[in-house]
Amino acid sequence: MSESITYQYARPSQLRQAGGNEQLFLSQYSEIAKPEASCFFWGRLNEAFITARCLLTLSKIVQSSFNLSPFQLAMLKDPIVTAGNKTLRFEGFSHCAGVYGRVDVLAAAQDGEFPAAGTTNVDFNAPMLNALARIRPKQSVVLSVGEKEVSLEQEGQKVIERKVPLPTKWIKGLTTVQIFLAQTEPFFRFNRVQAQQLFRSLPKGNPKQDYYLSQRGSRPLFSPMKQAKAVCVGGVHRLRLLEPLLPLAQSLEVYAQPEMQATTWVLSFGAVRFTMSLSRETWRGFSGEGAALESLVADVPQTWIERLDQYSYANQTFNPTLLAIDENLNEAQLSQLTGRLAAMGLLGFDLHDNAYFYRRLPFKLDRILRLNPRMKNAEKLVAEGKVEIVARSAAKIEARVAGTDVKHTVIIEAERARCTCTWFSRHQGERGPCKHILAVKKLLNG
Cα radius of gyration rounded to whole Å, the chain: 23
Torsion of CA 99, 347, 252, 130, to 10 degrees: 60
pLDDT at position 386: 94
pLDDT at position 31: 47
Distances in Å between the Cα of 402 and the Cα atoms of 89, 182, 298 are 46, 35, 22
| Cα(97)–Cα(174) distance, integer angstroms | 9
pLDDT at position 161: 39
Q: What is the mean pLDDT of each run of 10 residues along the chain (446 residues)?
A: 49 57 55 56 82 89 67 55 85 84 93 79 73 80 60 38 50 76 92 95 89 92 90 94 96 93 94 94 65 59 70 67 75 72 76 82 58 80 92 91 90 88 82 86 81
Q: What is the DSSP letter of 203?
A: P
Amino acid at 366: D
For the chain, helix, strand, coil in percent to 5 are 30, 30, 35
Amino acid at 197: Q
Residue 53: closest CA among 122, 121, 134? 134
DSSP string across 92-119: EE-TTS-EEEEEEE-GGGEEEE-SS-EE
Distances in Å between the Cα of 235 and the Cα atoms of 166, 277, 282, 327, 332 are 25, 12, 6, 44, 37
